[in-house]
Amino acid sequence: MSEFWRDRSVLVTGCTGLLGNWLVADLLERGALVTGLVRDLVPQSRLYAGEWYRQINIVRGCVEDLPTVERAINEYEVDTVFHLAAQTIVGVANREPLATFETNIKGTWNILEACRRVGGVSRIVIASSDKAYGDQLVLPYSETTPLQGEHPYDVSKSCADLISRAYYVSYGLPVC
């Protein structure tokens, strides 16, 4: 097993979600020091059912709250951020576009801005979606495929990708 993650401080947003809780489990197995940003207690999440939550630092709050995100990154001297928190249910996004934009767009810029302000973060992984590309005639997608989401969820992911690129280009943030 690689020693890369051993004792590395990692922040995972969306750690109670499907991908997030498995990422937490894998990082713990690899020896990472995991901090999870948790908006709501989700007892049915594998994070809690598997009791992984006992092995990580929990910061209660949401990605829409910049001071909370900054505090988490600063307090735990985060080296790596995995930003998975999002409103991912397309039906909900269509019914509640503003809430979706708050979480998916503002949440992403808050993560990036907190990393920029605090400094010291070596890598930032921003989860995206193929929906950010909208309907394309040419598949598979490439890094040069235009972002052209049309519906609230799709647009939120297109915006998050563009904001991530702006922070990479403008500030040199290590965004993946």
Instruction: Give the residue from 86, 69, 61, 81 showing the smallest Cα distance to 158.
Output: 86
Which CATH number does the domain housing residue 17 bear? Answer: 3.40.50.720
Q: Is residue 3 part of a domain?
A: no
Whether 153 is a known active-site residue: answer yes
| Number of domains, the chain | 1
pLDDT at residue 50 in the model? 78
pLDDT at residue 143 in the model? 83
- My answer on whether omega of the bond before 140 falls inside 30° of 0, hence cis, is yes
pLDDT at residue 1 in the model? 57
Domain extent at residue 85: 9-171
The pTM is what?
A: 0.94
pLDDT at residue 42 in the model? 79
Q: Is residue 15 part of a domain?
A: yes
pLDDT at residue 44 in the model? 79
Task: State the catalytic residue, choosing from 153, 167, 168, 171.
Answer: 153
Ranges under pLDDT 50 in the chain: none
Q: Is residue 4 part of a domain?
A: no
